[in-house]
Amino acid sequence: MKIHKFDTRVQHLKYQVLREIAKEAWNDSLLENLHNIPKRILPNDHPTMRCCIYKERAILTERMQIAMGGDKSNPNIIEVIDIACDECPMSGYEITDLCRGCLAHRCEESCKKGAITFDEHMKAHIDKSKCVNCGACAKVCPYTAITNRKRPCETACKVKAIHAGANGAAEIDDEKCISCGACVYQCPFGAISDKSYILEVIDLIKKSCGNTAYKVYAIVAPSIAGQFSYAKSGQVLSGLKELGFDAIMEAALGADMVAYEESKEVAETDSFVTSSCCPAFVKYVEKQFPQLKEHISHNMSPMAALAKYVKEKDPSCKIVFIGPCTAKKMEIQKDSVRPYVDSVITFEELQALFDSRNIEISDLEETVISDASFFGRIFACSGGLTEAVAQGIKEHGFTEFEYKPVTCSGIEACRLALLKAKKGVLNGNFIEGMACEGGCISGAGCLTHAEKNVKAVNVHAVTAKKLTITESVQDLK
């Protein structure tokens, strides 16, 4: 496995742990060989990332715990590895070398807490024990010499769910966290990670006894088209067959189902509707704008809608969703979704599964699946759902309805739209909310996060054989 299949070395290290855990699980030897895995990944006695090899291996042990499902007492699927989170400077306002020791002392005058003092060279200093991080000093400094330093995880978290704990390590406020995984991808030390259900998926496949005891279905997100760049999409699907999945379905078909129903919902409402596809966005509305919950579309997400359809046809089957999203691991805990989706893994975890069985997908023949329409497949990109709902409104014949969508890429854009909706000044009747900027193609569980992924998804979308959403949905009847 080469690092270039991922964006960062942190992702590669996470992958190595997942791969080794999976190897042992396939062989029923995980418990007896568990203690050997850190040395297998870090065989030399010289540290490469930390102060000593012992700390590196200790952190690997913590990563292994998360790879095996994490802390069962913690309901959040995002966890912090305390001992890995010790290198970031504390957040807050600091005086930089740009300070000229000017005579005005505007920074000192603006500070209501008396936190700013000057040394013998007239350079300013901030007393952290008094500073409340209000930023008043930074606003008045004529040299912009005062900066607000933030940890990468805090900067990444747009819902302000991360702060430094008493020991200096990051802590997650579960009351605010929406499990989007932005902090997971942005932490440069890999000290924040999403729990993995990779062992659960291996167990489902093994206990199916070659899909004779029950069938194991894989529902694959459309954003897969922008991943696994070293192979073709059809080869990735063939790899799933090699892993032991009996059938593979496009989550884009579920997207067609949702677009078909959601477009009716939008056209028939007297107010406005927000999308229900992104679980992190839905959770954000529920936690930060509870008064707007009634406006969330009553439709399930594409994953849940398609899984429900499959389970109704084959109640004994097991369903695994494979996609870019950490928040999907949270979504399947909901009472309305739990009966239909048995487990979730990300594209990162899928790569680890392939390599744990030595499956070189680039050598496989292609498996061709065309369950969905163009409109279902473009759900992976920001604006895709908006376009699909417009198409659904057209296909339903709502010719008199004026569709006014508000497309939100990223939580900050979602927040602005929801604030307007809360105040009754939203100029729109449909909010497409995507927690990740750019849409699902930027999910925390992606192998890569590049602009070319958008092009790959669009190329995949135009190959769809179903020309309309109606045609796609009618085939299910």
Residue 79 has, within 13 A of its CA and on its CB side, a CA count of: 22
Q: Is 60 exceeded by the pLDDT of residue 1? A: no
Apex CA 371: angle with CA 239 and CA 375, to 5°? Answer: 115
Average predicted confidence (pLDDT) for the chain: 94
**Sequence-separated (6 or more) residues with CB below 8 Å from residue 132:** 113, 115
Hey, which residues does 93 pair with through a beta bridge?
Answer: 148
Report the distance separating Cα 178 and Cα 468, nearest Å: 33
Q: What are phi and psi of 407, to 5 degrees?
A: -95, 120
List pLDDT tens digits, range 275-289: 999 999 999 999 999
Letter for the amino acid at 256?
Answer: D
- What's residue 316's pLDDT? 97
Token representation of residue 180: 């989007």
List pLDDT tens digits, range 322-366: 999 999 999 999 999 999 999 999 999 999 999 999 999 999 999
**Sequence-separated (6 or more) residues with CB below 8 Å from residue 302:** 251, 252, 253, 254, 255, 257, 258, 277, 376, 379
**Sequence-separated (6 or more) residues with CB below 8 Å from residue 232:** 362, 366
Confidence of residue 87 (pLDDT cuts 50, 70, 90): low
Query: Beta strand 273-274 with 247-250: parallel, antiparallel or unpaired?
Result: unpaired
* CA R_g for the chain: 25
Confidence of residue 443 (pLDDT cuts 50, 70, 90): very high
Give a three-class secondary structure readout of the chain: CCHHHCCCHHHHHHHHHHHHHHHHHHCCCHHHHHHHHHHHHCCCCCCCCCCCHHHHHHHHHHHHHHHCCCCCCCCCCEEECHHHCCCCCCCEEEECCCCCCCCCCHHHHHCCCCCEEECCCCCEEECCCCCCCCCHHHHHCCCCCEEEECCHHHHHCCCCCEEECCCCCEEECCCCCCCCCHHHHHCCCCCEEECCCHHHHHHHHHHCCCCCCCCEEEEECHHHHHCCCCCCHHHHHHHHHHHCCCEEEEHHHHHHHHHHHHHHHHHHCCCCEECCCCHHHHHHHHHHCHHHHHHECCCCCHHHHHHHHHHHHCCCCEEEEEECCCHHHHHCCCCCCCCCCCEEEEHHHHHHHHHHCCCCHHHCCCCCCCCCEHHHHHHHECCHHHHHHHHHHHHHCCCCCCCCEEEEECHHHHHHHHHHHHHCCCCCCEEEEECCCCEHHHCCCCCCCCCHHHHHHHHHHHCCCECCHHHHHHCCC
Hey, which residues does 124 pair with through a beta bridge?
Answer: 118
List pLDDT tens digits, range 173-223: 999 999 999 999 999 999 999 999 999 999 999 999 999 999 999 999 999
Least confident of 77-91, 284-298, 335-349: 77-91
List pLDDT tens digits, range 367-394: 988 889 999 999 999 999 999 999 999 9
- What's residue 164's pLDDT? 85
User: 255: closest CA among 407, 441, 379?
Assistant: 379
- What's residue 402's pLDDT? 96
List pLDDT tens digits, range 383-435: 999 999 999 999 999 999 999 999 999 999 999 999 999 999 999 999 999 99
- What's residue 4's pLDDT? 59
- In this structure, are residues 226 and 453 in contact, taking their beta carbons and an 8 Å threshold? yes
Q: Is 90 exceeded by the pLDDT of residue 453? A: no
- What's residue 50's pLDDT? 77
Q: Considering only residues 1 and 398, tell me which one the structure prediction assigns the higher pLDDT.
A: 398
Report the distance separating Cα 381 and Cα 391, nearest Å: 16
Reported pTM: 0.91
Q: Considering only residues 315 and 48, tell me which one the structure prediction assigns the higher pLDDT.
A: 315
Confidence of residue 120 (pLDDT cuts 50, 70, 90): confident
Residue with tokens 């498996």: 367
Report the distance separating Cα 99 and Cα 209, nearest Å: 69
Q: Is 60 exceeded by the pLDDT of residue 145? A: yes
Confidence of residue 2 (pLDDT cuts 50, 70, 90): very low
Q: How many CB atoms lie within 10 A of CB 296?
A: 18
Q: Is 50 exceeded by the pLDDT of residue 226? A: yes
Report the distance separating Cα 75 and Cα 288, nearest Å: 19
Token representation of residue 112: 């209501």
Handedness of CA 94, 96, 98, 100 (dihedral sign): positive
Q: Is 70 exceeded by the pLDDT of residue 47? A: yes
**Sequence-separated (6 or more) residues with CB below 8 Å from residue 443:** 181, 223, 323, 324, 325, 326, 346, 436
